[in-house]
């Protein structure tokens, strides 16, 4: 049987505000398999961002277990988790998070620096990714010289730079108009097919969620049992 890339077992997360415990996740069981494209969908305050941070090894649960490639992440040091995030996980954020003083090409190259990849190969890979997303004529532009949709496309290329096993996108179209958002999701879907990684998108928008193969709904810190299967939008 195929092993899950990410497996969560009874994951709970409780934040403390003074003397008050505020539960964000209330016993999440979840498996995400290699090559899949899934969406975690919920309203503001549902726990979806907390769940995203735990899946991406940016945060740890208060209780329960998180397995990445069948390894219990609670047994790993922060240094080891940082290495795993750099090598195995790519992140796409709503705010783009590009370095403003670097060109599109340089922004895409950054994750590869930390993996010890030679400059020649970094440039080759970054140019290849930017060509795939239609930015071959914008490689040397700064983020301030790009539209919001173009900036998010650069962020997508950066997320795939190290050929990660898992790419996580947090509200990837949240700062874009509907046309730019549609364009970004089509590019992200196409990238997922070509790069053959695993893609997890967190959103509150059903139109965005419907690009995925499977939707998990989260409400009040719990996964709603009956997830919805959808056909891919091509």
Answer with the residue of higher pLDDT: 110 or 75.
110
Instruction: Return the axis-axis angle of helices 104-113 and 148-159, rounded to nearest 10°.
Output: 20
pLDDT at 193: 84
Q: Mind listing the pLDDT tens digit for each residue in 30-63? A: 999 999 999 999 988 899 989 999 999 989 999 9
Top-level class of domain 6-229: alpha beta
Task: For residue 102, give the nearest of 135, 169, 151 by alpha carbon.
Answer: 151
Q: Mind listing the pLDDT tens digit for each residue in 26-39? A: 999 999 999 999 99
Question: pTM surpassing 0.85?
Answer: yes
Residue 40 token pair: 């975690």
Query: Which residues is 68 bridged to in the sheet?
Result: 6, 71
What is the arithmetic mean of pLDDT over 206-220? 92
Residue 37 token pair: 């494209």
Q: Mind listing the pLDDT tens digit for each residue in 93-117? A: 888 899 999 999 999 999 999 899 9
Q: Determine whether 104 is exposed, middle or buried from the number of CB atoms within 10 Å of its CB (0-12, 13-18, 19+).
A: buried
Question: Is the backbone of residue 134 left (phi > 0), alpha (psi -120 to 50) or beta?
Answer: left
């Amino acid at each position: 049987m195929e092993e899950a890339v990410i497996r969560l077992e009874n994951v709970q997360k409780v934040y403390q505000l003074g003397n008050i415990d505020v539960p964000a996740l209330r016993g999440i069981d979840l498996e995400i398999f290699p090559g899949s494209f899934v969406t975690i969908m919920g309203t503001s305050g549902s726990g979806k961002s907390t769940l995203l941070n735990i899946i991406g090894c940016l945060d740890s649960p208060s209780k329960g277990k998180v397995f990445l490639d069948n390894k219990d992440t609670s047994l790993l040091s922060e240094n080891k988790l940082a290495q795993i995030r750099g090598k195995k996980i790519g992140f796409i954020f709503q705010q783009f998070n590009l370095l403003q003083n670097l060109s599109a090409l340089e922004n895409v190259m950054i994750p590869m620096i930390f993996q010890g990849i030679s400059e020649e190969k970094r440039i080759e890979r970054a140019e290849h990714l930017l060509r795939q997303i239609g930015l071959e004529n914008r490689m040397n532009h700064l983020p301030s010289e790009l539209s919001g949709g173009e900036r998010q496309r650069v962020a997508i290329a950066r997320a795939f730079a190290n050929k990660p096993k898992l790419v996580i996108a947090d509200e990837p179209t949240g700062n874009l108009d509907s046309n730019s958002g549609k364009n970004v999701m089509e590019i992200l879907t196409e990238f997922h097919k070509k790069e053959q990684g695993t893609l997890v998108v967190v959103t509150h928008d059903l139109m965005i969620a419907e690009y995925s193969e499977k939707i998990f709904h989260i409400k009040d810190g719990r996964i709603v049992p009956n997830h919805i299967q959808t056909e891919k939008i091509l």
